[in-house]
Amino acid sequence: MSVGLVHDPIYQEHDTGPHVESPSRLKRTEEHLRETGMLEKLVDIRPRAAAVEELTTIHSPGYVTYVEDFARRDGGWLDPDTVVSPASYNVALCAAGGLLEAVDAVMEGQVSSAFAAMRPPGHHATRWEAMGFCIFNNIAVAAMHATDTHELERVLIADFDVHHGNGTQDAFYQNPHVMYFSTHQYPFYPGTGRVEESGEGAGAGTTLNVPLPAYCGDDQYLRVFDEILVPAAERFKPQLILVSAGYDAHWADSISMMQVSTTGYAGMVRALKGLADGLCGGKMVFTLEGGYNLDALASSIKATLDVLLDADSIDDPLGPPAAARGAPDIDNLLQAVKKTHQLD
């Protein structure tokens, strides 16, 4: 059992100033992994810059060129949420390329699974534009790499960020080779991710959205994984699982209104690991998306790595929410998803 970790000082060079998506996210996480002895248990995976030809499997050539030129002209705001500094284009290339290296390491048997601790995140970026702190859609580029380079016929992308990964959904909405599954707070940014958004054409049925109401916690999320993701994945039979790992549904994260704990995230990762072990020889790669409370982020990433390493237990230093609100009833939502995707 070996787990790889993509991390590198270059990811600190994406300078966003006082923005919530800041270098401190990775600094605090790496400090925590070092202090707890986790770093020495992991296999180092060094990133590389993705080639333009790899990015353009997802993004338009004009968009890639625009980002490069924008950064060269000292950067600024690519959209109302997304900051670019002069170094950001090269950092974003290494974010996408770091994830490609992780996929290669897993597919070639160098490690059993991997986690890419990098920034900027990616799942909102569309073919033509940046969105929601994201410049290039790292996980979408990685999925195309898996199908094109490694000739996989079925890749599952599971996204547990609190925001819907609209860019990832768009990339594969008509693609039968990539299943996209998302749990997200709804209604919420970016406004997509309804149950009825389920793919079209050859990709009909391969997009599964579970738009959760605010104040859902561990029990609701784990129910979704058990009742929706597990049977859908078992039917799809992926050869590789990619995970958009956003930790911003944590109760301590002020960006959302969810009540997930570090223990809850560990439960989701266990469910994903069970699927990977049973369906695709354990082949699974996580990439960091959201998560903005530094302590919650660091502890949740460590818990994720503990589960991947088959640790007997995980640490949850923040515990459950101190004043949890009553969790909403999601019975009708789950029934709607099951009906849409014939999971009954």
Kindly report the number of other CB atoms within 10 A of residue 10's CB atom.
17
Catalytic residue status for 124: yes
Strand 284-288 and strand 240-245: the pairing is parallel
Q: Which of 59, 123, 124, 163 is catalytic?
A: 124
Please count the residues of the chain.
344
Query: How far is residue 343 from each of residues 167, 241, 331, 335, measured CA to CA in Å?
Result: 25, 20, 14, 9
> Cα–Cα distance between 324 and 318 in angstroms, integer?
13
Q: Where are the alpha helices (DSSP H) in the chain?
A: 24-35, 52-55, 61-72, 88-107, 138-148, 166-172, 218-224, 230-236, 262-279, 294-308, 331-341
> Cα–Cα distance between 247 and 301 in angstroms, integer?
8
> Cα–Cα distance between 137 and 130 in angstroms, integer?
9
One-letter amino acid identity for 290? G
Q: What angle do CA 157, 291, 263 make, to 5 degrees?
A: 80
Strand 3-6 and strand 284-288: the pairing is unpaired
- Spatial contact of 115 and 72, defined as CB atoms under 8 Å apart: no
**First-to-last CA distance in the chain?**
35
Q: Where are the alpha helices (DSSP H) in 3-46?
A: 24-35
Query: Which residue has tokens 């990433």?
Result: 301
Q: Which residues are catalytic?
A: 124
